[in-house]
Structure 1
């Protein structure tokens, strides 16, 4: 197993009411077909002192491809890499979601201590710690609410989302969110933009941790 890096404390999330307003401001409620007041009411009812949870919209209501362009960094919009046209087919795997359009994700951790681990190594370790890997849409929601959680050399994978092939086997790609260097097909104009892409199940990357949570609830 690779050596673990020291964990850096990430910036806290804003209160749920502010998170709700942020989603309304971005038009996420319209993409999801949820009235703005329903979003605000849910956040208010779920507040409970604002324990640092993330307000998330169920991936069945709003897709990763719809959310990614809402990401911003250095004035540049987020994007999905060109060789991931099937990004929205990456669905929850080994993850149970609340049966509701809106839910909370508690106990977020960027997984910096797992940098240079492979997804294959990280998933059983997270399970042993009673943690659940984030979905791609949850990871995007996190960066939408707290953009500074995405840092150069401290980005993260979201291995709760996997693509199951027609034969039932899991695709070897695992989704991640990082920052473009503006090389290759990304294009120079996208340098420093938030980027949704993938890495192989068995590969390690020194700059990618594994985002996870302690649980989800409606």
Structure 2
């Protein structure tokens, strides 16, 4: 297949993860990490060769055709989160202390989320969901599902901010309803101290600065 814009974008995303030491953190090394994500390259071209991408005229920083997601089975959340940053920001992202000891591992992908691969896959048609700013999170999640879309997981939110830092903006942050732990808490990414923060909010409490991120689909291709 000829090299396409989608191929170029996929390769850029892989380079960003490599620059942030995902191969080393995963224990796979450069060759092993490349082998893990390589099957997704041509899948990406089939998803979104035409864009629009955030940098296009009329593009939005809150909408992305696809994002390469590497899960906690490959790189721990604490390690991937600290490798996020705001555009031109120097302060690393962090996990909020509101996650009591042992809580974060319990926030896993919901059954309906149905990850196509436990380690790496593509998230298609990503939207940070700023239209839901000020909405009750439980209502926002219901609206997302009624549209045939799916709320993002913690790893997917981190991937979005890692690969598209401009997606996280003041007053346009987002909840991640695809990861839950069985109680009323909904994980979310917002800005604190000029850095991305992974925290949580109650499913019944609206915030004017928190939307509900969602995607059209997840895919790992025919082999996923």
SS class of match (2:208): coil
Contact 1:16 1:50 in 2 (8 A): no
C-alpha distance after superposition, 1:148-183 (max 9, x if no partner): 1000000000010001xxxxxx21111000000xxx
Mapping 1:174-213, distance limit 5 Å: 174-180=186-192, 191-213=193-215
Q: Does 1:117 align with 2:135?
A: yes
Partners of 1:192 and 1:173 in 2: how far apart? 24
Q: Which residue in the other structure is 1:69 paired with?
A: 82
Identify which of 150, 157, 171 aligns with 2:183: 171
Identify which of 143, 154, 158 aligns with 2:172: 154
SS class of match (1:108): strand
Bigger CA drift: 104-113 or 63-72? Answer: 63-72
Partners of 1:162 and 1:210 in 2: how far apart? 14
Summarize the Cα distance change of 1:174–1:40 in structure 2 as closer, same or farther, 3 Å threshold. closer
Bigger CA drift: 30-39 or 67-76? Answer: 30-39
Q: Which residue in the other structure is 2:109 paired with?
A: 92
Partners of 2:194 and 2:127 in 1: how far apart? 23
Partners of 2:167 and 2:78 in 1: how far apart? 20
C-alpha distance after superposition, 1:104-144 (max 9, x if no partner): 00000111111111221111111110000000110000000
Aligned CA-pair RMSD: 1.9
Summarize the Cα distance change of 1:121–1:47 in structure 2 as closer, same or farther, 3 Å threshold. closer
Partners of 2:95 and 2:84 in 1: how far apart? 11
Gaps of 5+ in 2: 1-7, 49-64
Q: Does 1:24 align with 2:18?
A: yes
Summarize the Cα distance change of 1:39–1:26 in structure 2 as closer, same or farther, 3 Å threshold. farther
TM-score normalised by structure 1 residue count:
0.81
Mapping 1:28-39, distance limit 5 Å: 28-34=22-28, 35-39=32-36
| Count of matched residue pairs | 190
Alpha-carbon offset, residue 40 of structure 1? 5.5
Alpha-carbon offset, residue 50 of structure 1? 6.4
Alpha-carbon offset, residue 45 of structure 1? 3.3
